[in-house]
Structure 1
């Protein structure tokens, strides 16, 4: 798993006061506790929350807006697996020697990680509205909360705006600042293009399985998920480590986009076959007419009679129809096909790492893979 997911020695650092773990107080030596990357990450959020909602604005007229922003942040930013955000500091630990991992460097990596988590929250809050989703991370979607509704659109904008405020405040004097700005803006645009392709491929109430091709599906996945979930955190760490060459970034991209494709296929599988008590989300891909890996793969192998049944039942907000689609997936042995694909994907990934990561630490990619393969949520 990525450095930062475990609490072993390499991931421990004290950010309280000095960068060393030993201090002197009243003539006696005291040892400051070492914190794991997840603990540092959580503590950084509390600090950023205070910074963003209390210290940054002094105009009392904004008090109500700041209270709302704090509520939006607390509800939507934490609570996920935080893999994206933690991958920044985890990757940086692989790219830099320990001597260069100063307290300031680590703190900036934590801030950049939270910027990615804010981007994730912005996308999810918006996506939940577009998909009419019900739950997210084991609780009602933000727009579903009493008194929120479509005001959640502006709340999502707030999340996005905070990203660039934080980057400017914490990284403006760093040589990689412009690289990070370009990376975040380009990745956001790529993700929004992927979301556009997803939406127009399966508009509500219009079933056109001719659009549900594997080529189109992979394009949606690449742009909607893989860039921001996999390439963004590693690329950010690479820029922070001084790696700016297009060749090395393209090498990382080859590997990370493959991982991102599998991750979304896995997400599609869990949407249908996962346990909502574990995943924290009630799957809606079938009734939402989604161009998912399950339906695209099923269309490639089913009979004409089965296709007719699928056309009758897919994209229907009816429990009986949903169950018929799931039964059809089981008849076509989709779980078996998925697990076969998972094994093959992992093997392809190993080959890509050997071929393209000759000048990059392999653990960046291998640990990432270990975190996502075989996951159940």
Structure 2
């Protein structure tokens, strides 16, 4: 297991070389250089949690059986397809959100000479997934199921993004639209299916399982995603960009974040007026007032209590779940949770 990440990283270079020699396109030096730079900038620089989650899930399903070098290569290739999908979503999401940084560097569309070429780069990233699947999986019995799975998850994620975006239409900002149920729905479709369900579903398919026999797996994975998204929302507001690698913009972007929903539940009429007058405005003075209100409402303490209860509930549910892949996924992300908790605890002390 210690070698999984190093093996995984090596396969990225193999896939990149194959894509840069794809016979379906007549390459020039300029086009090859552009795509290589675009890939290196956007695909492998994250924490690779989705691809590695798939790898660990697949290996756990093979427990007690020999895992061949060919299977490890194929699993790595499929894991990178998930990371390619993540890169595709992030490149376009940053444009729509007018974000500034991602993973500690400028968003791809803000890199000099890139601009709106990033839209087409996003389309290329999505098409690369199909090229990799065709080259390495078209003779597998689960090939069509993989295609269906990626298409369905992409549709669900795009639909979740749509729900998120239409609640923040310029000139139609209305905080009354926001509730915990709306928040859960956005998280479920925008994040849960591609971040948590897709890696597990891919592992099940590659292990010869029928996804229809594992429909209950989705629900607990959605719960895990909501837990992680709440952490993301907290760090977006209170996190240090030098540590998180991203400048939070949820307040400026009028996002339906967990902090906002909780503030709306807790604040009195006077405090609610402060939210209505300042939330969703780009001026730093407005943002400061919203953050001050969050602290006045002790949302840091509310978050700490939510995190304690949710972590206990998820641990109990995951460890008792009949699917060993769910148990394996939960154990593989416990370390990530603890690392985040250390950061959050430090932020609360500050």
Alignment TM-score, normalising by the size of structure 2: 0.93
How far apart, CA to CA, are the structure 2 residues paired with 1:113 and 1:361?
17
Would the aligned equivalents of 1:203 and 1:289 in 2 still touch at CA under 8 Å? no
Q: Give the Cα separation in 1 of the matches to 2:17 and 2:32.
A: 11
Give the Å deviation of 1:372.
3.1
Q: Is the 8 A contact 1:213 1:296 kept in 2?
A: yes
CA distance in 1, matches of 2:100, 2:58: 36
1:159 partnered with 2:159:
no
Number of aligned residue pairs? 342
Q: For 1:1-377, what aligned pairs fall within 5 Å after superposition?
A: 11=1, 36-53=3-20, 55-57=21-23, 62-97=28-63, 99-248=65-214, 250-354=215-319, 356-358=321-323, 360=325, 362-375=327-340, 376=343
CA displacement at 1:87 relative to structure 2: 1.1
Give distance in 2, aligned partners of 1:73 and 1:162.
10
Measured in 2, the distance between the counterparts of 1:270 and 1:108 equals 35
8 A Cα contact 2:55 2:203, kept in partner: yes
Q: Deviations over 1:120-167 (max 9, x none)?
A: 000000000000000000110000011111111000000000001101
Task: Say whether the 8 Å CA contact 1:251–1:357 is kept in structure 2.
Answer: no
TM-score (structure 1 length as normaliser): 0.87
**2:183 touches 2:257 (CA, 8 Å); kept in 1?**
yes
Contact 1:136 1:281 in 2 (8 A): yes
How has the CA–CA distance of structure 1 residues 210 and 127 changed in structure 2, closer, same or farther, with 3 Å as cutoff? same
Q: Distance in 1 between matches of 2:168 and 2:24?
A: 46
**Cα RMSD, aligned residues only:** 1.7
Measure, in 2, the Cα distance between the counterparts of 1:219 and 1:373. 26
Aligned partner of 1:25 in structure 2 is none
**Residue matched to 1:32:** none
Is 139-148 or 358-367 further displaced after alignment?
358-367
Contact 2:48 2:83 in 1 (8 A): yes
Maintained 8 Å contact 2:251/2:287: yes
Are the equivalent residues in 1 in contact too, given 2:167–2:173 (CA < 8 A)?
no
**How far apart in 1 are the matches of 2:258 and 2:297?**
13
Runs of at least 5 residues in structure 2 that lack an aligned partner in the other structure? 345-350
Name stretches of at least 5 consecutive residues in structure 1 with no aligned partner. 1-10, 13-35
| SS in structure 1 at match of 2:139 | coil
Shift of residue 59 of structure 1?
6.2
Larger radius of gyration: 1
8 Å contact from structure 1 (residues 112, 167) kept in 2: yes
CA distance in 2, matches of 1:130, 1:312: 24
Deviates more, 1:360-369 or 1:168-177: 360-369
